[in-house]
Structure 1
């Protein structure tokens, strides 16, 4: 989806996509806090914090010369698309590295799956609601992802299959959006699919060893 709106908070001006992302993080954290043990909302919060740090300061990688010339660039800009992908990759690696310490049991795997699916869906919903894009792409995005999310979370049994089905659904939706498959959401979804499968396999090994 294209960003068509901007929002001002005092001296800070944010694109609608950034507002949608921050709102999504809060809503998903709240859902996890209410639905699952406190531990998993804290794990999600840590992952979000890591993502934001990497995304914000990845401009050092994407535009090093500008940062050296104007250090205050760090306060007003971020790493853009590359920063988003780097942030998701680093946050995913952080969870993978801490997988043994976190001890992903059955509840943890379900909580992780909820987080992966809800973060993507709610973000897409907010982006549609906060921006003004083609009606066709907005309707398809809202309807397909809403139905898919409700069906998957309602009967979340086969974790791997559910995550794979959701990723395929999001890719199909992307075909009807302005940037098609060449948008961060698609690549982020693939990374999160790999993360979800890895955590699920890790939980199976833990359950087999106990």
Structure 2
């Protein structure tokens, strides 16, 4: 959805997409902690923390000249979509490494996938609620992403399901993006495609950690 509103929080003016993302992260973490436990929630929160830190500091790479002229700009700016993608790639690499070193168990990895789907769904719903736009696109976005979230949370997921559900996740977002104002050329869709491909690759082309909690009910 397109950002059409800014919100005043204290002395700060916050774009609706930032607000939607913050709410999505907080709600997703809360649900994971309540439903799946402390360890999966800790992996999720750590991943979000590293991603946001890299996104914030990546402005040094994406707008180096501005940072050199005014170092304090690091506080106010970020690396945009490029920086967010770098943060996501860093987290994906870290998880892949820890997974192959058996520092991350299957249950936590499955919870991370569920968390990623939940964040994207909540973000999309919040963007509809916080911005002005087409009624049809808004209703379609909310209904489809809520349905996807309910399906993911109510399905007993195991390793063999993740590749198929990842394809469903990507296909769902492609369909929703097609009815949204920006169409298929929008950053959230690219993020979904990156996340979906990561989980397909990690479950299809790396060894499975059998006997370490392979299913989430």
Instruction: Verify same fold: TM over 0.5.
Output: yes
Q: Hey, what's the Cα distance between the residues in 1 that align with 2:24 and 2:150?
A: 17
Match of 2:182 in 1: 179
Is residue 2:100 matched to residue 1:104?
no
Is residue 2:75 matched to residue 1:75?
yes
Aligned ranges 1:13-92 → 2 under 5 Å? 13-92=13-92
Q: Bigger CA drift: 45-54 or 134-143?
A: 134-143
For 1:82-111, what per-residue CA distance to the aligned partner results, in whole angstroms no more than 9, with x for missing partners?
122222222222211222243322x22431
Task: Give the secondary structure class of the aligned counterpart of 1:205.
Answer: coil
Segments of structure 1 that go 5 or more residues without pairing to the other structure are none
In the TM superposition, residue 119 of structure 1 has moved relative to its aligned partner by 1.1
For 1:26-70, what per-residue CA distance to the aligned partner results, in whole angstroms no more than 9, with x for missing partners?
111111101112111111111100111111111111111111111
Give RMSD over aligned pairs. Answer: 2.0
The number of aligned residues is: 208
Segments of structure 2 that go 5 or more residues without pairing to the other structure are 213-217
Q: Hey, what's the Cα distance between the residues in 1 that align with 2:205 and 2:42?
A: 20
Q: Hey, what's the Cα distance between the residues in 2 that align with 1:22 and 1:30?
A: 12
Going by fraction, where is helix more abundant, 1 or 2?
A: 1
Q: Is contact 1:109–1:203 with CA below 8 Å preserved after alignment?
A: no
Q: Return the TM-score normalized by structure 2.
A: 0.88
Could you list the runs of 4 or more consecutive aligned residues of structure 1 that deviate by over 4 angstroms after TM superposition? 201-204
Is residue 2:189 matched to residue 1:189?
no
Match of 1:168 in 2: 171
Task: Give the secondary structure class of the aligned counterpart of 1:180.
Answer: coil
In the TM superposition, residue 208 of structure 1 has moved relative to its aligned partner by 7.9
Match of 2:203 in 1: 200
In the TM superposition, residue 15 of structure 1 has moved relative to its aligned partner by 0.5
In the TM superposition, residue 134 of structure 1 has moved relative to its aligned partner by 1.6
Q: Is contact 2:43–2:112 with CA below 8 Å preserved after alignment?
A: no
Q: Is contact 1:104–1:199 with CA below 8 Å preserved after alignment?
A: no
Q: Return the TM-score normalized by structure 1.
A: 0.91
In the TM superposition, residue 12 of structure 1 has moved relative to its aligned partner by 2.0
Q: Bigger CA drift: 15-24 or 147-156?
A: 147-156
